[in-house]
Amino acid sequence: MTGGLVEVIPVSGYDKPLSYLPPTKGGDALRIGQLVSIPLGRQKLQGVIRSLNVESDFPAHKLKRIYEVIFDEPVMTADTLALAEWMRGYYAAGNESVFETMIPAPIRAGVEAKICRYLKLARRLDVPELETLNRRAPKQAALYAYFLGISGEVERNKVIAECGVTGAICDGLVGRGILVETQQTRQRVAYEDDLGNMEKVIHKPVVLNDEQIAAGNSIIASLDLHTFRTHLLHGITGSGKTEVYLHAIQHVLNQGGGVIFLVPEVALTPQTVGRMRTRLADMGTEMVVWHSMLSAGERFDGWMSLARGQARVVVGARSAIFAPVHNLRLVIVDEEHEPAYKQGDTPRYHGRDVAVYRSMLAKAVCVLGSATPSLETLYNAQEGRYTLNRLTKRIDDRQLPKLRIIDMRSELLRTKAISSISRDLATALLDRWERKEQSILFLNRRGYSTSMLCPDCGYVAMSPESSVTLTYHKAEEKLKCHLTGYEEPAPTQCPSCSSEKIRWRGFGTQKVEDILSKLLPKAKVVRMDADTLSKKNEFREILGNFRKGKIDILLGTQMIAKGLDFPNVTLVGLIDADLSLHIPDFRAAERTFQLIVQVSGRAGRGDRAGEVFVQTYLPSSAPIQFARRQDFDGFLSAELEQRKEFNYPPYRHLIRHIFRSKNLDKILFYTERWARLVEETFGDTLEIRGPAPAPLERLKGYYRFHVWYFTDKIARVITPLQQLRKDFKMDEEVVDVFDVDPIDMG
């Protein structure tokens, strides 16, 4: 028996913990959660320290030694190490995928800190020295004169830029002892440049209303118990949920605790950052911003700032839930219903559910907030697992916007053509522009036209790699597949029969932008979608200009549908409310209802009343009618009743088993065999449906099939399913993955 060993979990290459001898240097200062370099076979890999002073039956002379500790600070906390173990089991994932998800790539790559060089005046010259310098080195003399007018140090690069000198001239004065150069580590802070003026939020004393006070006090009461609790903050759009969050955050920070604040979309982050930074500045609390669009340096410095305990608050997208926050007391998941919280690659975790589980491990309070909570979250509140806090009115008693349903069937009869902008919406847009008020138009479909059709032979332009039509992009004259990135030049005649009658059908954001430019030629219209946001900070520039009133109409996809708060927006138009209804998904009605309510919430957030136009060919559908009446309880009751009838989530868990292969015969053969084996093995504990083609049957050249498993408890079936799959001989051309609690059924 060998003792005093270090148990390390390899980040890659091996799925089980291994025992090592401590490193030759610093072995007495090891800490759980540190990233270390280890030998594994003939490779040098990274691992995370899981336990110290463990014992092993492995012969001591065969044990290997840790090479080195990469960072003194642990990059994972005790609760995130336990979280990794849970994720591995619950989401049917290996250690490698879990740790590569939880430990950011810049940390694993060892991005170096940014070192800045500074110059300052070391001594003043007497008259003879200055005369000699002017005569022999006039450029050095000019640089010396520059520093005579400056107190303190200046960054070297700034000196070179402002004075128009070279580095050699600076070095010359340093060599003479006239200037002194120092080096400092400079933290790369996200949004430090305040681009677009998004973060300059004027702090005004906020007086909470009675509902906000009650909700805030309820959360604080849970915080003071120092135990795990989950709250659902269900507040209508504009009801002041963010102020309740800030109230709770301030309470936590006053007690020395840490906070994780999750938002679903990067586009929502600048406003949240602005409010948070303004409110926390007086408390001297450092805050980290976290999402995938930051530079490697910003991510590295932010993570290490949290690991060192310098920062106690992190605001970011779903991966921020893994941040090494010290003394974690509060986790907030804003817009908890958003599908963006679900990871699309292995491990296919849901940020909201991971947030709840991490809160339990840390004995922290988790607050889930939304105007349109998911049915799973509402069901947990109904069952008493979550504490429900309601905000039923807007702040300052502002009225909810008037919601008008536009029946596009009548529009079609009137114009004899499919239109993207109805007559009523066009009139309202013109009226708002004349009154110098702003409008937002939402269409969750980018591009110019959604398909290309030949009326002579029936040809439709399809993606060669996927079972979807190609979208026409007019600006580039190209056909694109938004799923695979495939593109080709747009034809001027039918590729099949050479007919010149080829037509574009449907409409996307590009086409609507063209229509608006003709409808309101003097208005400033800006489109905001994945095709326009090519630069790192472009979305911040657009939103900043919109807030300043430089943009009259903002047109965009889902990134502008929720969370944004612009007081001068009095008109919101949902151009095609039926898109989400046509998706083959049991959540289609829920998604449609949420979309209408969230989009509606962007209007009337200032002193002026708002109006919302919802264009639809299905005006009598249940989610549209419930949304029109803002009847959340009615929709919830009807939708839960329907889900219960079919025993769909939230009444049971769902595991989606996805198979893909380029060989159709093989995928048909092996999925049938697999489904029969699961039925024979788990027929009493699982309900199995399939195999069947996925709604998106072909993607990137692969055929896609899926099998659904319904169960009351994931933990009871996922490990046996994994073991059965491990023992099942699958052809190497067929790839499969388990998606636990899936959100996307495509």
pLDDT in tens, 360-404: 999 999 999 998 999 999 999 999 999 999 998 887 777 777 889
Over residues 133-185, the pLDDT tens digits come to 888 888 998 888 888 888 888 888 888 888 888 889 889 889 889 898 888 77
The dotted CATH code for 402-448+507-642 is 3.40.50.300
Q: Please tell me the predicted confidence (pLDDT) of residue 476.
A: 66
Question: What distance in Å separates the CA atoms of residue 386 and residue 332, rounded to the nearest whole number?
Answer: 14
Report CA Rg, the chain.
30
Q: Please tell me the predicted confidence (pLDDT) of residue 197.
A: 41
Are 511 and 443 in contact by the 8 Å Cβ rule? The answer is no
**Residue for token pair 């504009």:** 238
Prior bond to 401 cis, omega within 30?
no
Alpha helices by DSSP H, listed for 282-350, are 296-307
Q: Please tell me the predicted confidence (pLDDT) of residue 193.
A: 45
Token pair of 339 as six digits: 């599908």
Segments of the chain with pLDDT less than 70: 1-3, 186-205, 266-272, 282-283, 416-418, 445-453, 455-456, 458-459, 463, 465-476, 481-485, 501-507, 530-537, 559-565, 582, 604-607
* Residue 645: partners with Cβ closer than 8 Å, 6 or more residues away: none
Q: Please tell me the predicted confidence (pLDDT) of residue 164.
A: 86
* Residue 300: partners with Cβ closer than 8 Å, 6 or more residues away: 104, 106, 107, 111, 113, 188
Question: What distance in Å separates the CA atoms of residue 699 and residue 682, rounded to the nearest whole number?
Answer: 30
Q: Please tell me the predicted confidence (pLDDT) of residue 30.
A: 92
Over residues 490-536, the pLDDT tens digits come to 777 787 788 776 666 556 778 888 889 888 999 999 888 765 565 55
Token pair of 299 as six digits: 């991510």
- CATH fold group of domain 2-103: GIY-YIG endonuclease (3.40.1440)
Token pair of 629 as six digits: 């009446």
**Chosen CATH of 197-397 out of 3.40.640.10, 3.30.420.40, 3.40.50.300, 3.30.70.20:** 3.40.50.300
Torsion angle (degrees, nearest 10) of CA 45, 84, 219, 373: 110
Are 401 and 604 in contact by the 8 Å Cβ rule? The answer is yes
* 61, 63, 242, 284, 441 from 1: Cα distances, Å: 12, 12, 56, 51, 69
Question: What distance in Å separates the CA atoms of residue 155 and residue 645, rounded to the nearest whole number?
Answer: 68
Q: Do you know the residue count of the chain?
A: 746
Spell out a b/e string for 171-195, using b for 16 or more CB atoms within 10 Å of the CB, else e: ebbeebebbeeeeeeebbbbbeeee
Its pTM stands at 0.84
Question: What distance in Å separates the CA atoms of residue 69 and residue 36, rounded to the nearest whole number?
Answer: 4
Q: Please tell me the predicted confidence (pLDDT) of residue 86.
A: 96
Strand order in the sheet with 735-740: 687-699, 702-711, 653-661, 735-740
Pairing type for strands 311-316 and 258-262 reads parallel
Q: Decide yes or no: CATH 3.30.70.600 for domain 653-740.
A: yes
